[in-house]
Chains A and B, each alone.
Chain A
């Protein structure tokens, strides 16, 4: 397939992710099955058994162990991958923090699924959002091509800034839906992604203490060097996240030059050049918003999509620029910070507070637990916001879309 210039495969989001992992020369995969993620690592298991992927596939008894194996393998210098969803991600929570605190360049797909209880295998983004403060980079993909390309970019970003990357995409809507995907050639991936040079490596001939009990204050080590205390290590971690947009944007640009497509870096827009109304979301919901925008443009409404690609680090500056000319931003969250509002909506307001840019911001909760979101629901919501704006009474509580209570 590498000889053809444009080889288009009709594949699911999970296969698009697995193909990318294979191309990236991942050396260790550890995973535990959970719907809707399972078929990512089933595909990888098949590649390893068939001998077309030279990796160790470690079957473990839990997601906690899956990420534990990845942490260990990454620490000894391997390029590693895992994938999970919902309760699996919650079960590995402790290791999610550990991977980030140890500054390991692990890439994990989080195939977004609603959190139990009650059980739901269907899509929303509550799982990723509950891990937003764990210190990972979180990138949300809008379609299967972006999943394929973003997994490749994710290794480059992670290995540049030494922060793990969670590639998030909507369960079933993308994970199990086939779409045309152009697989990147091995030659191009090899040119894009250099061999991983580990920064923390375990070597029996040069033993090290890794992540030991670290006291509150800085102190000298055995050789007399003043070492970081816990707070200094957290400061460096935050510094790495805050500086990472440069690496994220650079990876997307370099990828674009090499492959011929890129994904907007931190944020992207659709028909938003002259838009007074912006409809904002992360993930596949932005595609449905694009349909809604096309329909509303037919009616002459100046409306566009504001796509949030990277949720952590939160693109404060980019969003301020993106909404500078807008009168209204309607934010559609597929998750909820219980007792407050949608997390993307809250973070957008926070970004705007000191910026001097102050469009009206309305929050909508959509699609929890797989509740279908049709473009007409989005148009109805957008028109409610526009009406509130035009009535001169723009303050509006968060509203739930298509809730039938």
Chain B
């Protein structure tokens, strides 16, 4: 068996990013940002960041102009729920950016 080469006899690993696999693979919907509505982008300065604060995976950066690490975003949709400006919508994973 190929996994025998890992030399482990119980489930044990070193913690690091990606240790549990790309959990973003579980996602069926992804967040889509409309930057024309985002409060921070419109103000041109740090503002709001509700999406960053509520993201349970910590994959949204606290920066102006929203960036999501899709390797680990599970598509839970909490960011879309909490966004006061309605700037985030959840779109099917296979829809890409097609409007």
Residues in A lying within 8 Å of B, measured CB to CB: 101-103, 162, 199-200, 206-215, 218-219, 221-223, 225-229, 232-233, 235-236, 240
Q: Which residues of A contact B18 (CB under 8 A)?
A: 222
Q: Are B11 and A212 in contact, CB atoms less than 8 angstroms apart? A: yes
Q: Are B11 and A221 in contact, with the CB atoms below 8 A?
A: no
Q: Residues of A contacting B6 with CB < 8 Å? A: 221, 225-228
Question: Of B3, B15, B17, B21, which contacts A232 at CB under 8 A?
Answer: B3
16 sampled A-B residue pairs with Cβ under 8 A: A200-B10, A208-B12, A208-B15, A210-B10, A210-B12, A214-B11, A215-B21, A218-B3, A222-B13, A222-B14, A222-B16, A223-B16, A228-B3, A229-B3, A233-B11, A240-B9
**Interchain CA distance A173-B11 in the complex, whole Å:** 40
Interface status of B2 (Cβ within 8 A of chain A): yes
In the complex formed, the residue of B with least CB distance to A214 is B11
Known: A207-B15, A209-B15, A222-B18. A233 touches B1 (CB 8 A): no
Main secondary structure of the interface of A (DSSP, over half): loop
Tell me how far the C-beta of A60 lies from the nearest C-beta in chain B, rounded to whole angstroms.
Answer: 24
Chain B, 1-60, CB within 8 A of any chain A CB: 1-6, 8-21
Q: Are B3 and A226 in contact (CB under 8 A)?
A: yes
The reply to whether A211 and B21 contact each other, CB–CB distance below 8 Å, is: no
Set of chain A residues within 8 Å of B14, measured between Cβ atoms? 206-209, 221-223
The chain A residue sitting closest to B1, CB to CB, is A232
- Shortest C-beta distance, A112 to chain B (Å), equals 29
Partner of B1, one of A210, A213, A235: A235
A236 B9 Cβ-Cβ under 8 A: yes
Complex Cα–Cα for A223 and B17 (A): 10
* Contact across chains for B9 and A209 when beta carbons are under 8 A apart: no
Q: How far is the CA of A218 from the CA of B6 in the complex (A)?
A: 11
Closest to A232 in B: B3
Docked complex Cα distance between A162 and B9 (Å):
9
B18's nearest neighbour on chain A, judged by CB, is: A222
In the bound assembly, the distance between CA atoms of A236 and B11 in angstroms comes to 11
CA distance A214 to B4 in the complex (A): 16
Chain B residues with Cβ below 8 Å from A228 are 3, 6, 8, 11
- Among B2, B13, B21, which residue has its beta carbon within 8 angstroms of that of A208? B13
Taking the closest CB of chain A, its distance from the CB of B16, in whole angstroms, is 4
Q: How far is the CA of A155 from the CA of B66 in the complex (A)?
A: 57
User: Please, which residues of chain A bring their CB within 8 A of the CB of B15?
Assistant: 207-209
The answer for the CA separation of A290 and B3 in the assembled complex, in Å, is 49
Q: Are A212 and B16 in contact (CB under 8 A)?
A: no
Q: How far is the CA of A209 from the CA of B15 in the complex (A)?
A: 6
Is the pair A103, B9 in contact by a Cβ cutoff of 8 Å?
yes
A292–B56 alpha-carbon span in the complex (Å): 69
- CB pair A101–B10 under 8 Å, yes or no, is yes
> Contact: A200 with B16, CB < 8 Å?
no
Do A209 and B13 have beta carbons less than 8 Å apart?
A: yes
Shortest CB-to-CB span from B98 to chain A, Å, is 31
Closest 4 CB pairs between A and B? A222-B16, A103-B10, A222-B19, A228-B3
Residue pair B13, A212 in contact (C-beta under 8 Å): yes
| CB neighbours of A208 from chain B (8 A) | 12-15
B2 to chain A, nearest CB (A): 6
Q: Which residues of A contact B8 (CB under 8 A)?
A: 227-228
Minimal Cβ-Cβ distance residue in A for B16: A222
Chain A positions within 8 Å of B3 at CB level? 218, 226-229, 232
CB distance from A97 to the nearest CB of B (A): 13
CB distance from A163 to the nearest CB of B (A): 10
CB distance from A126 to the nearest CB of B (A): 30
Given A162-B9, A218-B3, A223-B14; 12 other pairs, CB 8 A cutoff: A162-B10, A200-B10, A207-B15, A210-B11, A211-B10, A211-B12, A222-B16, A222-B18, A226-B5, A228-B3, A228-B8, A228-B11
Q: When chains A and B are docked, how far (Å) is the Cα of A218 from the Cα of B1?
A: 11
CA of A162 to CA of B12, assembled, Å: 15
Give A211 to B11 CA distance when docked, in angstroms.
Answer: 5
Report whether B19 and A219 are in contact in the complex, using a CB–CB cutoff of 8 Å.
no
